[in-house]
């Protein structure tokens, strides 16, 4: 089966599961993922598997051995740019998804330029100051866009403490809002993935026009 | 009185910076909305809260 034929079959299969109307909305959706670590790499894969048609993935970093405990990279990708490594994985998982990859550090000067091409933004940074910066930039520059953020998923606490809440108009925050990686409690794959799944799920709901958490 | 995350506090006349400090927030790690409008961090010092304002403070913790 050639690539085009495979794409058509995969989309058809997705349509059979959720119906063509929902699948069309996913395929037409445009989402940016800011930060491709434990949250971002998992969110990207969830959205691609669901059939989201356009993903703008952004990170400045390279795959490090310390990432492999929770981030969706492989040992043979060590040293690669995360944007390149994840683009390759997404292409293999979801050939129907268009991936725009940018290897750049997002800051308060470039955020508004980088994020013009999407309707929904996933904040998936590691650092709390950067999380607050991106949320501010999106809410100031793009009052029409949604931003879904992750905050509080470190340690071994109950996964039941991780939840999605709507804050500040078009901001949704996923996490337990408390457990901080800087408290030396580490980051474990299952809990980070639970938080990433909350983010991905909220994004898919927003694509469908569902604004309740 | 000023409503902060749904609770009333006697902080009318204070700047957002001062209010955050008193409430124990770390200003670089928060996003603040006053009366449903986002206030950029650059304005935290000069923005004075008024009686009846409704403030939402979202604080972020590290990890991802």
Residue A212 has pLDDT above 90, yes or no: yes
- For position A203, what pLDDT does the model report? 98
**B44 — phi, psi (to 5°)?**
-60, -40
Structure tokens at A208: 């469908």
A94 belongs to a structural domain: yes
Contact list in B for residue A169 (CB cut-off 8 A) is 33, 36, 38
Residue A1 has pLDDT above 90, yes or no: no
pLDDT, average across residues A133-154: 97
**Whole-number Cα distances in Å, A6 to A2, A10, A11, A24:** 6, 6, 9, 17
Question: CATH no. for residue A170?
Answer: 3.40.50.720
With 0.95 as the threshold, say if the pTM is over it. Answer: yes
Interface residue B60 vs chain A (CB under 8 A): yes
How many domains are contained in chain A?
1
Chain B residue with CA closest to A182: the answer is B62
Rounded CA separation A112/A167 (Å): 21
Q: Determine contact, residues B28/A129, Cβ cutoff 8 Å.
A: yes
A212 belongs to a structural domain: no
Residue A45 has pLDDT above 90, yes or no: yes
SS3 A20: helix
pLDDT, average across residues A113-119: 98
**Which CATH number, 3.10.20.30, 3.40.50.2000, 3.20.20.60, 3.90.1150.10, labels domain B2-59?**
3.10.20.30
> Tokens 């304005």 sit at which residue?
B43
**What sections of A51-185 are H helices per DSSP?**
82-93, 111-114, 128-141
The answer for B 12-51 residues in CB contact with A (under 8 A) is 28-31, 33, 36, 38, 40-41
The domain locations on chain B are: 2-59
Neighbours of A50 (CB within 10 A): 22
Nearest to B62 among A126, A135, A171 (CB): A126
Rounded CA separation A184/A175 (Å): 17
Q: Determine contact, residues B6/B58, Cβ cutoff 8 Å.
A: no
Contact list in A for residue B56 (CB cut-off 8 A) is 167-168
Domain that holds residue A95: 3-207
A213 belongs to a structural domain: no
- For position A135, what pLDDT does the model report? 97
Helix (H) or strand (E) holding A191: helix A189-207
Rounded CA separation B28/B13 (Å): 22
Listed residue (B9, B21, B57, B42) closest to A151, CA to CA: B57
Residue A168 has pLDDT above 90, yes or no: no
Q: Which residues pair with A133 in a beta bridge?
A: none
Mean pLDDT by 10 residues, chain B (64 residues): 96 97 97 96 98 97 96
Structure tokens at A86: 């994840």
Q: Determine contact, residues A19/B46, Cβ cutoff 8 Å.
A: no
């Amino acid at each position: 089966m050639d690539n085009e034929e495979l794409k058509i079959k995969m989309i058809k299969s997705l349509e059979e599961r959720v119906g063509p109307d929902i699948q069309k909305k996913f395929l037409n959706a445009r989402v940016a993922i800011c930060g491709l670590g434990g949250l971002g790499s998992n969110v990207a894969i969830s959205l691609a598997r669901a059939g989201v048609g356009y993903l703008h993935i952004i990170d400045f970093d390279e795959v490090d051995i310390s990432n492999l405990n929770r981030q969706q990279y492989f040992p043979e990708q060590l040293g690669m740019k995360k944007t390149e490594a994840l683009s390759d994985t997404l292409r293999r998982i979801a050939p129907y998804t268009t991936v725009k990859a940018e290897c750049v550090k997002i800051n308060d000067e470039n955020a508004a330029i980088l994020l013009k091409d999407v309707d929904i933004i996933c904040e998936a940074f590691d650092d709390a100051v950067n999380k607050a910066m991106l949320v501010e930039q999106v809410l100031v520059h793009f009052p029409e866009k949604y931003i879904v953020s992750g905050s509080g998923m470190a340690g071994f606490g109950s996964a039941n403490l991780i939840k999605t809440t709507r804050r500040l108009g078009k901001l949704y925050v996923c996490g337990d809002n408390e457990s901080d990686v800087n408290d030396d409690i580490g980051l474990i794959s299952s809990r980070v993935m639970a938080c990433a799944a909350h983010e991905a799920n909220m994004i898919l709901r927003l694509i469908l026009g569902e604004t309740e958490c | 009185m000023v409503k902060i995350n749904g609770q009333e506090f006697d902080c009318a006349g204070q700047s957002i910076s001062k209010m955050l400090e008193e409430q124990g927030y770390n200003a670089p790690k928060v996003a603040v909305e006053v009366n449903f409008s986002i206030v950029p961090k650059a304005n935290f010092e000069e923005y004075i809260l008024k009686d009846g304002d409704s403030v939402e403070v979202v604080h972020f913790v590290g990890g991802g």
